[in-house]
Structure 1
Amino acid sequence: MREYLTKEAFSSIIDAIKKGTKIQRHIADQVAVAMKDWAMSKGVTHYTHWFQPLTGATAEKHDSFFTPIEGGRAIERFSGGMLIQQEPDASSFPNGGIRNTFEARGYTAWDPTSPAFIMGTTLCIPSIFISYTGETLDYKAPLLRALHSVDEAATSVMHYFDKNVEKVTPTLGWEQEYFLIDSALHQSRPDLVLTGKTLLGHAPAKGQQLDDHYFGSIPTRVMNFMKELEIECMKLGIPVTTRHNEVAPNQFELAPMFEEVNVAIDHNSLLMDVMGRVANKHHFKVLLHEKPFAGINGSGKHNNWSLATNTGENLLSPGKNPKKNLQFLTFFINTIKAVYEYADLLRASIASANNDHRLGANEAPPAIISVFIGSQLYKVLNELEKVTDGKLSPEEKTELKLNVVGKIPEILLDNTDRNRTSPFAFTGNKFEIRAVGSSANCAEPMTVMNAIMAKQLRDFKVEVDALIEKGLKKDEAIFNVLREYIKQSKNIMFEGDGYSDDWAKEAKKRGLSNLKTTPEALKKEMDKKFVELYEELGIYSHREVEARNEIKLEKYSTTIDIEARVIADIARNHIIPAALNYQNRLIENVKGLKDIFSEKEFKAIAKEQLSLITQISENVSKIKLGVEELLVAKEKAKGTSDSQKQAEAYCFNVKTLFDGIREASDALEMMVDDELWPLTKYREMLFTR
């Protein structure tokens, strides 16, 4: 930008990024010309407004710089108006009833806070996506509103501690888990191609039980893929720093340095696209489904969230003196209180048909939202809880400053252990939201996280100011409010094993929700308290909340519907014919034995073959009847008009029928001749390097 922009234009863009100021039209024209010149110097011929609709994938419509003019000539043209706005079709994207098919117009608008980039010969301009009537139809627009809200609220609270702070920026470091399988093997599995997961397949003799893959030596072919991926990431400014083998066979992880939330999410969305492109060159297929293989670990995308000031401070990192530690405790305890108050909303933000398979298994936290902070910090909060009401005595002030608040940095030196069973864990200087799924757009949980934090900090400021007006000193007012928050939100703090049955019982006693399925979580999302939160902060209108809830319910039902159709197709057209083919071979074998041996000898010799024939028939019958029952249930669910009830029907009446079909199919896999079995097996997909 320094090379191509005027000083005025450069300053205007920087102010827009750092302060949120508007960019004037004449500045936009300058930026557009500079952006075009830069892009064309790199061989670019087209531009697109790159946006993130509610499909879960990114979207782009390419337009050429080439513009015909009089006299049969042409020029390359790109104006400020073209930079600022494009018009893709709004009715063809998920909109939850906001747009009718005949109301097609929608707009993409440039987001200057996220860098433009080049993919191939196309200039990509990060943008928001809104309908003709102004409702948001993407992930980015509400995220930007949530980031603005938390900036205002956190900056206001920071003025208790440092008047020089002008801006608070939420930061995010995501950890992307994924599987790699050979692309030819991927194409041989219709379920993987159409749903991203294996709907059938017997567990291999060796899976992850030897714990020999995690952090192991990276296979050469995979390393070549990783190297090229990192080079492409470097070209696009994605600061990836970590790569390693994950727990399951052929599972891997990539992670960057933390960045400002909006840019981090754009980078993650871009990365998922780039991963697929690079993998194709190495004859791999990247699987981002949360649970592509039964019986082994699925894939998540831990979101490491914190708050940073323009003066360079991490607000979730303790300081060297009691004042800085009181600042740390303020934001630390307010985060816990926010999660306590809005736990169900946070749970809904990571709900999906794919993630339902993963949550609660031995590689992901349970559906119960709890907060892990470590035993030492838990003791600190217990000490703070004992602070007396009102003004502190000199002895209490000394005790707090020296023995409680002052010792926090020392405590944290030995308090960096992680609780992998906790969906929301403090890890030294940030909170790790562990329940986000690998294919998810981080924008949704980050919108919720920053929105609930903004609301909580607003409420905190009001309560502290009220106590100060009553005559309490600032520190005493802060301690008093924090003490009450600890008492109110204690139930959500849990240090033990989140997988245990005892915790589920204990959580119920504490009044914590256990929303195991997406329909249950999305039903909670529409609670009046949550809708009012969004409206108060200006993140969504009531109509937008309803529309997004509708979209997520429809996506859930459609996902299960597709899986049902695919499993029925494979069972009827692949599994049953293969089983009958092998059964016919056995029958021919039995007939031959009967011709050769006497009746007595035949019964002894053909015993196992006859048993196999019977078992095959029984399992074929189970599959046939199971598929028929499944298709009836699917059609009944599909005919339900109410989106919530339809999702519940797919969840409780359709998805539950998959297991019986799978069980019979997997049994046949262990009987039928390997040469005749129509599907590539787990052992081949997971252990082909």
Structure 2
Amino acid sequence: MAHLRFKALDLANNRTRTKVEVSEKISDFFGQDVFGLREMQSLLAPEVYKRVKRAIDGGTKVDAETADAVASAAKSWALTKGATHYTHWFQPLTGSTAEKHDSFFDASSGIEKFKGSALVQQEPDASSFPSGGIRSTFEARGYTAWDPSSPMFIYGVTLCIPTVFVSYNGEALDYKTPLLKAVEAVDKAATNVCQLFDKKVTRVKASLGCEQEYFVIDKALYAARPDLVMGGRTVFGHNPARGQQLDDHYFGSIPPRIYDFMKGFEVEALKLGIPVSTRHNEVAPSQFEVAPLFEDINIASDHNQLLMDVMSKVAERHRLKVLFHEKPFAGLNGTGKHNNWSLITNTGVNLFQPSSSARENLLFLIFFVNTIKAVYENADLLRASVASAGNDHRLGANEAPPAIMSVFIGSQLTAVLDELEKKGNVKVGKGENMYMKLGIDKIPPIIQDNTDRNRTSPFAFTGNKFEFRAVGGNDNSASSMTVLNAIVADQLTDFYEAVQKEIKKGTEKRMAIVAILRKYIKESKAIRFEGDGYSDEWVKEAEKRGLSNIQDTPRALDAYLTEKARKVFNRHAILTDRELEARNEIRWESYIMKIQIESRIMGDLALNHIVPTAIAYQNKLIQNANGLKGLNISNKGVINTIESITGYIETIQTEVYNMIEERKRLNKIEDLRDKAIGYCDDVKMKYFDKIRYAVDKLEMLIDDEDWPLVKYREMLFLR
């Protein structure tokens, strides 16, 4: 194994750059592999194009005649691009995307064919996808159905058709289906609220900008770390003397090999219509970030999944490996996926953008306050939406948002809400300005420049949007965005009904709105926090405020099955009780399997690589000690090292064998929740740190020439 390590280091150190030259302007090739509205308009009859546009904008069903026309145009376009196959591209509950390629070529007729029926619906073999009991293994039927709102694209030589994935009875088996329903719900609720002020608003779109963090290491070094290959993270590894403490990597000069890689995947992403616009070094060595422009939330979610796949494939060309795991290296910052979310009307108004107009600021405050209230009322559900085995390593680790959900809004908006809350019942006389009395007209139009991004806050207002920073780097954004849009839709629905009720009583509309907002501000005040989310004081303060601090995934997932959560999802027809229960079954099972895998990796590396290396090195030291003794030279230091190694070997062997026995016990438990909690408490929490501590201590004691695993200092300073 030590030989493999040094061979991998030689390969990594002798790499030549794979340079990427881009001779064209981005505008010349952006979206060239996308079958979007422009392509449809040029290839479809005007009436057919209008029907497709209505389906995209309004969610109406595409009829068979229209589907045939679109399929024919898409096939012709794809063939000119060199495509030979097509696939329904979907997002099952495995956490990755899925596809089954079918050829355009029909052998019986000898020509390329693609019918509307093949575009609209397919029946992939669904037997191996997780369903949480919705569909038995022998009932393989699962259907993919075209999502017209997300454009088709060419990937390689395949026309990819974004689709939903549902069971025979229409139950959701994917991430996209509930997201589309949640987006529809927030559209309806937000539009109703907007029409209290402007009847021209007929639609509100949820918008998303998804910042993606990631690590990059050399492919040879990756291959020499079995834990990275099998589990996505290093289960062992002593921190290097120099890590991220100097903050010298952050926003620094991008290393040449990484720069070439970035250019490579950006070109491919831009061809696919993914509007990547920002690249930079992140805080930890070998950590980086890519960020796109804002898009419709469904498309942005699809694009993020596609972008991760593109990055992984392009990395192979550069003999690199991209790591999206939330915590690939202990002691260094983890990897997040910051979801910047906002709501935009069809009239072009960002509902989270403060204005110089008092009337518009009242609308801003409605959405601002209702979002805060939604997070307060559903904080545990929002926490559950980002729960995973990987993210548990990251949340609350003094590098990422804590597991306590809170909202940061900045000092200026805090003052605005405080003033609104404390004004009491405002009586407006003839000719008096209610907005001025409440301070609503005083919201600075440049608030976005004055709102600090509190990096310790999981849910922060950043000027004209909310940034949900707790989403894991390897997660599908659709999970958290489904919950966020659902809870905001629910809260806006309650608000609209409350306003209508007051208006029917004879209360003036503006006064009714202000009274309800004041009530919401008071009720949700506990969720607002402006301080250091990493501090021990905040943990104590949050407990006093009644805020949850749920540290692990198995218990966090309980929030999906509460009466409150069921009511939210059922009320807006986003997920049924059965679908919610199935998803929890899948996520508990996924958690169990991931902790199982990590524990097996630890056991294998510890017993088959680390302990034998330690024993061999110990024998060398014993021989040296005997030689020193024969020469009457003090060997106290050598003896102490030998004894330390003995102690760590015994600890490793004892704890690994105990962990194996614990797994055997837990594997007999049938209830998935109980089993997941057992794996969390009695395997991960009980043994992982003990075994790692002993192994990492051995790394510092054993001769560098003998150590079998590639070290952090060797992986993380890639140039």
TM-score (norm 2): 0.93
Distance 1:34 1:207 in 2: 54
Q: Is the 8 A contact 1:583 1:616 kept in 2?
A: yes
Kindly indicate whether residue 668 of structure 2 is the aligned counterpart of residue 629 of structure 1: no
Partner of 1:609: 638
* Alignment counterpart, residue 298 of structure 1, candidates 328, 331, 334: 334
Partner of 1:52: 91
Q: Is the 8 A contact 1:347 1:521 kept in 2?
A: yes
Partner of 1:441: 476
* Alignment counterpart, residue 592 of structure 2, candidates 546, 557, 563: 557
* Alignment counterpart, residue 319 of structure 1, candidates 345, 350, 355: 355
2:665 alignment partner AA: K
Q: SS in structure 2 opposite 1:635?
A: helix
Distance 2:478 2:430 in 1: 47
Distance 1:299 1:589 in 2: 45
Partner of 1:675: 705
Partner of 1:19: 58
Q: SS in structure 1 opposite 2:439?
A: helix
2:352 alignment partner AA: L
Distance 2:717 2:431 in 1: 62
Partner of 2:377: 341
Kindly indicate whether residue 684 of structure 2 is the aligned counterpart of residue 655 of structure 1: yes
Residues 464 and 67 of structure 1, relative CA distance in 2, 3 Å threshold: same
Equivalent positions of 1:13-412 (< 5 A) are 13-69=52-108, 73-389=109-425, 392-394=427-429, 398=433, 400-401=435-436, 404-410=439-445, 412=447
2:627 alignment partner AA: G
* Alignment counterpart, residue 523 of structure 2, candidates 488, 496, 502: 488
Deviation, 1:609, is 2.0
Q: SS in structure 2 opposite 1:515?
A: coil
Partner of 2:673: 644
Q: Is the 8 A contact 2:207 2:297 kept in 1?
A: yes
Q: Return structure 1 stretches of 4+ with deviation > 3 angstroms.
A: 591-595
- Residue by residue over 1:203-249, the C-alpha shift from the partner in whole angstroms, topping out at 9 and shown as x without a partner, is 10110111100000001110000011110011000000000000000
Deviation, 1:401, is 2.7
Partner of 1:570: 605
Q: Is the 8 A contact 1:387 1:479 kept in 2?
A: no
* Alignment counterpart, residue 465 of structure 1, candidates 477, 481, 500: 500
Paired residues, number? 679
Deviation, 1:634, is 1.6
Q: Is the 8 A contact 1:387 1:480 kept in 2?
A: no
Equivalent positions of 1:418-429 (< 5 A) are 418-429=453-464
1:527 alignment partner AA: T
Q: Is the 8 A contact 1:376 1:411 kept in 2?
A: no
Deviation, 1:414, is 5.1
Distance 1:397 1:589 in 2: 93
Deviation, 1:75, is 1.4
Distance 1:497 1:489 in 2: 19
Q: Is the 8 A contact 1:377 1:411 kept in 2?
A: no
- Residue by residue over 1:345-375, the C-alpha shift from the partner in whole angstroms, topping out at 9 and shown as x without a partner, is 0000000110011111222111111111111
Q: SS in structure 1 opposite 2:433?
A: helix
Distance 2:349 2:446 in 1: 20
Deviation, 1:413, is 5.5
Deviation, 1:403, is 6.3
Deviation, 1:611, is 1.9
Distance 2:505 2:434 in 1: 24
Q: Is the 8 A contact 2:447 2:463 kept in 1?
A: yes
2:429 alignment partner AA: P
Q: SS in structure 2 opposite 1:211?
A: coil
Distance 2:338 2:429 in 1: 44
* Alignment counterpart, residue 530 of structure 1, candidates 565, 570, 577: 565
Q: SS in structure 2 opposite 1:101?
A: coil
Q: SS in structure 2 opposite 1:335?
A: helix
- Residue by residue over 1:645-678, the C-alpha shift from the partner in whole angstroms, topping out at 9 and shown as x without a partner, is 1111011110020111111111111111111111
- Residue by residue over 1:492-538, the C-alpha shift from the partner in whole angstroms, topping out at 9 and shown as x without a partner, is 11111111111111111111111111112112221111012111110
1:652 alignment partner AA: D
1:533 alignment partner AA: V
Distance 2:248 2:711 in 1: 21
Partner of 2:15: none
Q: Is the 8 A contact 1:275 1:286 kept in 2?
A: yes
Distance 1:181 1:663 in 2: 24
Partner of 1:688: 718
Kindly indicate whether residue 509 of structure 2 is the aligned counterpart of residue 479 of structure 1: no
1:475 alignment partner AA: R
Distance 1:278 1:104 in 2: 34
Q: SS in structure 2 opposite 1:118?
A: strand
Deviation, 1:411, is 6.6
- Residue by residue over 1:605-646, the C-alpha shift from the partner in whole angstroms, topping out at 9 and shown as x without a partner, is x22222222211111111000100111112222221111111
5+ residue gaps, structure 2:
1-39
Partner of 2:19: none
Q: Is the 8 A contact 2:409 2:451 kept in 1?
A: no
Distance 2:522 2:629 in 1: 80
Distance 1:668 1:429 in 2: 51
Distance 1:339 1:504 in 2: 18
Comparing 242-251 with 88-97, greater Cα deviation is found at 88-97
Distance 1:162 1:659 in 2: 58
Deviation, 1:560, is 0.4
Kindly indicate whether residue 48 of structure 2 is the aligned counterpart of residue 6 of structure 1: no
Kindly indicate whether residue 451 of structure 2 is the aligned counterpart of residue 416 of structure 1: yes
RMSD: 1.3
Deviation, 1:583, is 1.2
Deviation, 1:402, is 6.2
Deviation, 1:45, is 0.5
Distance 1:654 1:293 in 2: 20
Distance 1:431 1:31 in 2: 37
Q: SS in structure 1 opposite 2:701?
A: coil
Deviation, 1:397, is 5.5
Deviation, 1:488, is 0.8
1:150 alignment partner AA: V
Identity over aligned residues, as a percent? 59
Partner of 1:499: 534
Deviation, 1:399, is 5.7
TM-score (norm 1): 0.97
Distance 1:644 1:456 in 2: 30
Deviation, 1:484, is 0.7
Q: SS in structure 2 opposite 1:197?
A: coil
1:89 alignment partner AA: D
Q: Is the 8 A contact 2:666 2:675 kept in 1?
A: yes
Deviation, 1:410, is 4.3
